Amino acid sequence: MSADPFQLFDAWFAEARASEVNDAEAMALATAGALGQPSVRMVLLKGHGPEGFVFYTNEQSAKGAQLADNPQAGLLFHWKSLRRQVRIEGIVERVTDAESDAYFATRGRDSQLGAWASDQSRPLDTREHFEARFEAMEQKFDGRDVPRPPHWGGYRVVPRRIEFWFDRPHRLHERRLFTLGDGGWSEGLLYP
Ligand SMILES: Cc1cc2nc3c(=O)[nH]c(=O)nc-3n(C[C@H](O)[C@H](O)[C@H](O)COP(=O)(O)O)c2cc1C
């Protein structure tokens, strides 16, 4: 029997968007560096489907450096109001420049300028310094469109394993695990 985790993800994501107070698209992104040390932080889901789950960031950030060393990641959604979680694991690839350009163009001008002003993950001496950099970018791009910085773009987590966890009475929670094999996706149930 063929299994389709993406239809189930779409259904749960739609419910989460309707029920969560904010940021249903927020997900924890786990990466590990060359020495295997784990690291986790929140990012926002900006596109998804069978081809993968996309987020955008500064590739010179700590996560960008880890992904360059070790292009594997875990994603975790926790939709509290629904008492559900989704865990995704897979290989990470860069989205095309054209896709990053198209998404960057949809961002507000302040976010676009912020992408130029921020040296993500590097220590900053003062808040004023950051604000001065932002103002310098405002002047630099005054009167014209803000282009995408070359170090800013999208990553796609191409899933090999997706697990849906949901709350059931008497703490008998259920986990539906979808794994990708040679014959496509297959499904099994896990003990809670
Ligand atoms: C709800 C939420 C959403 C976030 N979304 C993003 C995002 O989409 N991209 C991003 O680069 N950082 C995002 N951040 C900031 C990251 O969590 C993190 O602080 C930053 O990317 C630096 O991480 P790094 O030093 O591990 O690379 C978000 C933070 C929160 C709390």
How far apart are alpha carbons 170 and 161 in whole angstroms?
A: 27
User: Quick one: which atom of ligand 1 is closest to the CA of 120?
Assistant: 22
CA 175 to ligand 1 centroid distance, Å: 28
Tally of residues, the chain: 192
Q: How do residues 141-187 score in pLDDT, each as one tens digit?
A: 999 999 999 999 999 999 999 999 998 777 777 899 999 999 899 99
Taking a C-beta distance cutoff of 8 angstroms, is the pair 160, 5 a contact?
no
Mutation probe of ligand 1 site: the residue of 20, 29, 44 with most atoms within 8 A of C-beta: 44
CB count, 10 Å around CB of 94?
Answer: 15
Write down the pTM of the prediction: 0.93
Q: Does residue 37 have a pLDDT over 50? A: yes
Q: How do residues 62-79 score in pLDDT, each as one tens digit?
A: 999 999 999 999 999 999
Q: Is 171 a catalytic residue?
A: yes
User: Quick one: which atom of ligand 1 is closest to the CA of 61?
Assistant: 27
Q: Which amino acid is at 43?
A: V
How far apart are alpha carbons 176 and 98 in whole angstroms?
A: 35
